[in-house]
Structures are given as structure tokens and as C-alpha cells.
Amino acid sequence: MPPAVHRKLRRKDLKEPDEFLSFFYDLREFLTTNLTQIVLSAAVVLAVALIVVGTYYYERHRDREAAAQFYTAFQALEAKQYKTAEQDFSALSDAEQSREVGRLARFYLAACYLGDNDLPHARDALVAYLADAHDPTFEGLALMDLGVVYERMGDLQKAEGAYKQAAVNGSTPNPGAELGIARMQQRLGDNKNAIESYRNFLGEHPYAPERQEVIEALAALGSEPPAGASVPQNISPAKIDAP
């Protein structure tokens, strides 16, 4: 077994600081030298954190206020207090233009104008809503309302265009839009396409509540309903009229 080797300590070695002390001294020197910068950096981080937290709670507060204002306006609309509802929805639309609640307020603002028979303002509100619409369901409803507005204003070609857009909006059939297209074609004197549209409507919706109305429109145009649209004998009249 080799003899143990003993290292001889020198006075110089004893005077040298170990690695931990060297690190501690270096750290203290770094902190002393950069203390101002460290404090400033910490202050910036704290300020950013406060801004983020403050913004979050401010947005939640805005959400609650907007929801309360929307509910109040909607209650006025349901009560047919159109002027009151118009003011509330208009204020909400202006205050929350870039948020969904503001966009939805424009849609209901148009409903207020339509209920009040203020057709030009209803048209403008619907056009403004559709320019920034994000919800396919409300977009389809807005297109239908726009078709109704144009039809009441006598602008039949624009009404037909709005109904056509509503008919292809979404993934489910829109019987109201399809019937609107046929009605506009008939009023515009486009009898050939009106007959085709009415017949297609009966073929696709043979038990729709508007069935008798469509049959009468076809009769006025000198046409008959398609054979495939005849009602089976085992279906009672009550079932025919069901939506």
C-alpha cells in the first residue's frame, strides 16, 4: 500500500480566500456597482405587473357595466319603448365600438328603428353592423332584416340581394329568405324565376306554414305546385300547418 501523501500548507495558501468567499465578494461588488440599475429594473417590472392587473380589473368592470346597460336597453325594446331603447343601444354602440357588445348593440339598434318604422336609420344601422359582423347567426338575422327594410322602402332589387345573401348564410336552410327571393322576383316581374323559386320552396318545405300562400302565388302566376309537393293523404291538415 503506497504511503499517504500529505500536502504541505503554505502561509500564502492560508491567506487566499476559498471559492465561496470569492463568489460572495464578487456578488457584493456587482450589487454595489449596479444597485441603481437593479432597483430601476425591479420598479419597471412592478409597474408593468400593476398595469396588467389594473387593466384586467378595469376590463371586467367595463364588461359588467356594458352588460347592465345592454340588459336595460333590451328590456326597453321588449316593452316596445323604442325611443328609450334607441338611446341606450346607441350610447352602448358608441362607447364599445371595438367590442362584441358594441357590435351587437348596433344590431339591436336597427331592431329599434325597424320597430319604430324608421326605415332609413334601420338600414344604416344594419349596414354598419354587417360591415363588422362576426357571428354567423346574427349576420343572417341582420341580412333578413335588411331585406325587409329594403322591401318596405320599395328598393326591391336590393331587397332581393339581401335575401339571397341571407339564404346562403349559415349551414341550415332559411325558408324566410327563400320565400323573400321568390316574392321579390314576382314583384320585379321576373315571373319565370319567381315560379321556379316558389316551386323549389314547396319541394324543399312541403309542410311550411307559408305553403298555402305559395300555392296562391303560383296560381296568380299561372302555375301549379310541383307533383312532389303534394301532401300525402296520411298527413292531417293540423300537421300540414305545423311549423
pLDDT for the residue 24: 57
Tell me the pLDDT tens digit for each residue of 43-87: 556 556 555 555 444 456 566 887 888 889 989 999 999 999 999
Residue 112, in any domain of the structure: no
Q: Which residues of 202-240 are buried (b: 16+ CB within 10 A; e: fewer)?
A: beebbebebbeebbebbeebebebeeebeeeeeeeeeee
Residue 178 covered by a domain: yes
Average pLDDT over residues 169-173: 79
Q: Let me know if residue 145 belongs to a domain.
A: yes
Tens digits of per-residue pLDDT, 189-236? 999 999 999 999 999 988 889 999 999 999 999 988 877 665 544 444
Higher pLDDT, 23 or 96: 96
Query: CB atoms < 10 A from the CB of 81, how many?
Result: 16
Asked if residue 56 belongs to a domain, the reply is no
Q: Does residue 224 belong to any structural domain of this protein?
A: yes
**What are φ and ψ of residue 30, in 5° steps?**
-65, -45
DSSP 16: S
- Torsion angles phi and psi, residue 45, rounded to 5: -60, -45
- Classify residue 106: in a domain, yes or no: no
Q: Which long-range contacts (CB under 8 A, 24 or more apart) does 79-86 make?
A: 80/115, 82/112, 82/113, 82/115, 82/116, 83/116, 85/112, 86/112, 86/113, 86/116
Structure confidence at residue 80 (pLDDT): 92
Residue 64 maps to a domain: no
Q: To which H or E segment does residue 69 belong?
A: helix 19-78
Separation of CA 145 from chain center: 16
Binned at pLDDT 50, 70 and 90, residue 100 comes out as confident
Average predicted confidence (pLDDT) for the chain: 79
What pLDDT does 215 receive?
Answer: 93
Do the beta carbons of residue 73 and residue 92 sit within 8 Å?
A: yes
> What is the CATH classification number for the domain harbouring 208?
1.25.40.10
Segments forming the whole domain that contains residue 205: 135-243
Count the domains in the chain: 1
9-13, 34-38, 183-187, 200-204, range with the lowest pLDDT:
9-13
**Side chain identity, residue 165:** Q
Q: Does pLDDT of 94 surpass 60? A: yes
pTM of structure:
0.68
